[in-house]
Structure 1
Amino acid sequence: MAQLIEGLTVEGVRANVERVRGEIADAAARAGRSADDVELLAAVKYVAIDELPVLAQAGIALVGENRAQELVRKHDAPGGTELTWDFIGHLQSRKVKQVVGLVRLIHSVGSDSVVDQLAKHATTDTQVLVEVNVCGEPDKSGIAPVLLPDFLARAREAVTPVGLMTMPPLAERAEDSRRHFAALAELAAEHGLHHLSMGTTQDFAVAVEEGATIVRVGTKLYL
């Protein structure tokens, strides 16, 4: 596990947030979009629990955690209750009941077993994003694009899918992710879905240019 990020200052995080938001605004302008249409989600997987109050004081409102157990712990910690939480990691079916009720959005619904658990523990008002394996990597989570229509139909019996999420292959250049982001945007448009959760620290500007409504940024906000 990577070393936890500690010793944050309100001034330092606030400056980083302003810098990232500026990059989002520039990317949105290049695409003829409004920066107001893009949410900045702070990924907190490696942020120490004691640092959560700093994030809120620095102007961060939306955060995302990758692990269900840590989500529960951080959600209820000092500073955690001041933040809006999304779940952004791979969701195991046995962890669904821990996450439902604590988050605004689950970004990573990508298996029938998870949908089955959502049917037991969620309501049809629960909003989720469907994870799509747009690049077809055999070891990557998510639904194959060709299976998306049937999967959405099953998911809608349990919850409300409001968008799509993807994680493109690791690449040296942000530009290499563009075609994957464009493919996800096309799928979302085909199925009348608004939200696109795509883009992380290394490629969020390209994701914004291709239509991202949520970008998941981590270390660039803290270091």
Structure 2
Amino acid sequence: MNTDEISRNLQRLEQRITNACLKVNRKSQEIRLIPVTKTKSAEMIQMAVALGVSHVGENKVQELISKAERLQNEKLEWILIGHLQSNKVKKIIQYIQEFHALDSIKLAEKLNKELQCIDKKLDVFIQVNTSNEISKYGMQPEQLADFLCQMQQFRQLNVVGLMTLALHTKHEPQIRQCFQLLKKLLDESRIDYPNISRLSMGMSGDFEIAIEEGATDIRVGQAIFGHRALADEYYWPEQGEK
């Protein structure tokens, strides 16, 4: 894929975002597109940067670090959107500006401790398993309120929103239900925590539904950079680092 192809894909994507917003009387400026670059080369990311992309999402720790080091001269922010194991926290925190998959107090404690050591704060999204699939990471919806209460002790972590992965199906009502539940949880959480305002939900196959249901951050890879060699099931849900 070349720069022109990526440019056309981004333009098409922007139009689809605008159309989805119009359906529910939202403004496209409310939506932040996070280009997902897993399995894509550093050269392809440079093409995207030349087109104005300023941040990208990666799923795997080692892949993110490798690309961040190769592209350290680019004005680019890195967002970790996949599962993070506690033993990899120290390796990754210097490279990322956001983390979209926080799902345990143990991980929060480790992140907070290591961030203190480098005097850094990190924006985080809490991952909720709205599809109730045992194969997916994320806490159960009923655990969120207590988790948010416990999160107040971690001064280096700034909880800005919630994240979810919808059910991997072509049945739209089931997908929509996952997003509706996350929006409901956000509305309930904001009563006590008004600074939590963002919803990271929606990927290439379902981002329009996510926008209709209140997404503020959509994580899109294939609609920008083309199909990956491996099926989606290899990445979502992720079973640790592959």
TM-score by length of 2: 0.84
49-58 or 24-33: bigger deviation: 49-58
1:49 to partner: Cα distance: 2.3
- 1:3-33, CA deviations, whole angstroms, 9 ceiling, x for partnerless residues? xxxxx21111011011111111111111111
1:81 to partner: Cα distance: 3.0
Aligned equivalents of 1:59 and 1:81: distance in 2? 11
Q: State the SS of the aligned residue for 1:149.
A: helix
Query: Given that residues 165 and 198 in structure 1 are in contact (C-alpha distance below 8 angstroms), is that contact kept between their aligned partners in structure 2?
Result: yes
- The 5 A counterparts of 1:50-129 are 50-78=43-71, 81-123=74-116, 125-129=121-125
Distance 1:117 1:198, change over 3 A: same
Aligned equivalents of 1:56 and 1:47: distance in 2? 13
Partner of 1:205: 208
Q: Cα RMSD between the aligned structures?
A: 1.6
Partner of 1:182: 180
Counterpart residue identity of residue 151, structure 1: F
- The 5 A counterparts of 1:30-45 are 30-45=23-38
1:174 to partner: Cα distance: 4.4
1:175 to partner: Cα distance: 4.7
Counterpart residue identity of residue 213, structure 2: E
- 1:133-169, CA deviations, whole angstroms, 9 ceiling, x for partnerless residues? 1122122111111110111122232211110000112
- 1:61-115, CA deviations, whole angstroms, 9 ceiling, x for partnerless residues? 2210001111111112137732221100111111122222322210000122211
1:218 to partner: Cα distance: 0.8
The list of structure 1 runs, each at least 4 consecutive aligned residues, that deviate by more than 6 angstroms after superposition, is none
Does 1:218 find its partner at 2:214?
A: no
Aligned equivalents of 2:39 and 2:223: distance in 1? 12
Query: Given that residues 86 and 106 in structure 1 are in contact (C-alpha distance below 8 angstroms), is that contact kept between their aligned partners in structure 2?
Result: yes
Q: State the SS of the aligned residue for 1:81.
A: coil
Aligned equivalents of 1:101 and 1:211: distance in 2? 31
Aligned equivalents of 1:11 and 1:59: distance in 2? 13
Aligned equivalents of 1:169 and 1:133: distance in 2? 10
Aligned equivalents of 1:161 and 1:78: distance in 2? 28
Counterpart residue identity of residue 139, structure 1: S
Partner of 1:171: 169
Query: Given that residues 14 and 59 in structure 1 are in contact (C-alpha distance below 8 angstroms), is that contact kept between their aligned partners in structure 2?
Result: no
**Identical pairs, percent:** 31
Q: State the SS of the aligned residue for 1:122.
A: helix
Unaligned runs of 5+ in 2: 191-195, 227-242
Partner of 1:4: none
- 1:181-222, CA deviations, whole angstroms, 9 ceiling, x for partnerless residues? 011011111112211000000000000111111101011102
Aligned equivalents of 1:33 and 1:217: distance in 2? 19
Aligned equivalents of 2:51 and 2:30: distance in 1? 21
Distance 1:211 1:90, change over 3 A: same
Partner of 2:148: 152
129-138 or 90-99: bigger deviation: 90-99
Q: Aligned residues, how many?
A: 216
TM-score by length of 1: 0.91
Aligned equivalents of 1:209 and 1:160: distance in 2? 26
Query: Given that residues 198 and 214 in structure 1 are in contact (C-alpha distance below 8 angstroms), is that contact kept between their aligned partners in structure 2?
Result: yes
